[in-house]
Amino acid sequence: MTMIDRRGILAGSAALLAATTVRAADAPAGTLKAATASKGRRFGSAFAWSPAGADAGSFANPAYAALLRRDCDVLVPENQMKWQAIRPAADRFDFSRFDPMVEWATTNGFALRGHTLFWAYSRWFPAWLNNHDFGQRPAIEAARILDQHIDTVTKRYGRKIDSYDVVNEAVDPDTGNLRETSLSRAMGGTANVLDHAFRTARAAAPHAELVYNDYMSWEDGNAKHRAGVLALLADFRRRGTPVDALGVQSHIGLFQPTTDAGVVAKRLEPEWRAFLDRVTAMGYRLVITEFDVRDKGLPAAIGPRDRGVADFARAYLDIMLSYPQLGDVLAWGLSDRYSWLRGFEPRPDGEVTRGCPYDTDLKAKPLLAAMLAALAGGVRQVGQAA
């Protein structure tokens, strides 16, 4: 079934949902999912698990759930499908948080992306995997652990998850080389691990789009990271590794003081297009998997800050959406209230970061209007077989 066919089927349930959905106060006309659908794409967001009614970016928080319903076709778990969450030990899985997320998403008519089957970075491995004793035949034991993980997750959710970040962040941004991990040491190199992950995923979930996801971005300082990702993508093609798309995380940002985001964007555009041209020339589709905007370089005052975030995002999304190979567009959360940026990328002046389309009161911001305009104005996605 093509993405467009699936959307047709989803549209019926989405229309039903819309009737019961509370419209976000003072939001500009139109929803992100409607703007995105007008060009044959799906819009989505990360979401979380929490106890019922908790103040969290969770399906179990009615105010946040209303935003998800309003704007999203597709959801992705921010943390609850990671090894750290679902694989507490080599011989044990724990789906107690992710299961209810999948249940809620599917009963409410959302599609799901899976993030991530393998985060290729020891920093985010569960401790047991960093310290695992791979025994006498390490390559076999490592492959067994990886296969068991991918098989267990993909078979448990079947067609409920139609796109996976099979591998996340395998390239070291400082060198462009592949990161080493306990699994790569056991299996004779990172390339073996990554190929193995994609081949296992294709066999276990032949219906799903398989994505290599990374944060090489368009700002200054990312040249080595982009080159490393291009080399990896070329190697995948050379070896026949089944990878369908590059997940462009899109945690874009203005880091140096500026009052004119448009000028910065214009300067960054040519190299970024050159990168995307090379990716798509290799036959990869593109997915925006984790969009948000880091606003450190912008003034604290909310007016100019929100304007800068919106302008920078508009320029970036216009470029991305000019590629017919671009499929899903997902934000890494819809509200500044629950964004990872608050904790991971705090502003030096202590002001709350404003990188999401809705603010800490879940009110629409200029970024939402910029996203709506860019999404509705993009070129139509080319059909894809999935």
Min separation Cβ 39 and ligand 9MR, Å: 25
Q: Give φ, ψ of 102 to 5 degrees.
A: -65, -40
24 or 341: CB nearest ligand 9MR: 341
Return the closest-CA partner of residue 70 out of 112, 35, 106. Answer: 35
27 or 166: CB nearest ligand 9MR: 166
Min separation Cβ 123 and ligand 9MR, Å: 9
296 or 307: CB nearest ligand 9MR: 296
Going by DSSP bridges, is the β-strand pair 326-331/251-253 parallel, antiparallel, or unpaired? unpaired
Beta partners for residue 113, in sequence order = 163
Question: Half-sphere exposure of 165 toward its Cβ, with a 13 Å CA cutoff?
Answer: 30
7 or 226: CB nearest ligand 9MR: 226
Min separation Cβ 163 and ligand 9MR, Å: 15
Collapsed DSSP state (helix, strand, coil) of residue 215: coil
284 or 291: CB nearest ligand 9MR: 291
Min separation Cβ 11 and ligand 9MR, Å: 29
323 or 340: CB nearest ligand 9MR: 340
357 or 366: CB nearest ligand 9MR: 357
Integer Cα distance of 296 and 306 in angstroms: 12
48 or 369: CB nearest ligand 9MR: 48
Integer Cα distance of 117 and 42 in angstroms: 22
Min separation Cβ 341 and ligand 9MR, Å: 8
135 token code pair: 């025994």
Buried-exposed string 154-188: b where 16+ CB fall within 10 A, e elsewhere: beebeeebbbbbbbbbbbebeebebbebbbbebbe
Beta partners for residue 288, in sequence order = 248, 329
CA angle 297, 367, 332 (to 5 degrees): 85
Contact residues: ligand 9MR, CB under 6 A: 78-79, 82, 124, 168, 215, 249, 290, 340, 344
Integer Cα distance of 34 and 31 in angstroms: 5
| Residues in the chain, overall count | 386
**With the CA atoms of 7, 12, 18 and 19 taken in that order, what torsion angle do they form, in degrees rounded to the nearest 10?**
170
Q: Which residues contact 29 (CB under 8 A, 6 or more apart)?
A: none
141 or 214: CB nearest ligand 9MR: 214
Return the closest-CA partner of residue 113 out of 268, 249, 8, 308. Answer: 249
Q: Which residues contact 212 (CB under 8 A, 6 or more apart)?
A: 165, 166, 167, 170, 194, 229, 232, 233, 236, 243, 245, 246, 247
169 or 311: CB nearest ligand 9MR: 169
Min separation Cβ 167 and ligand 9MR, Å: 12
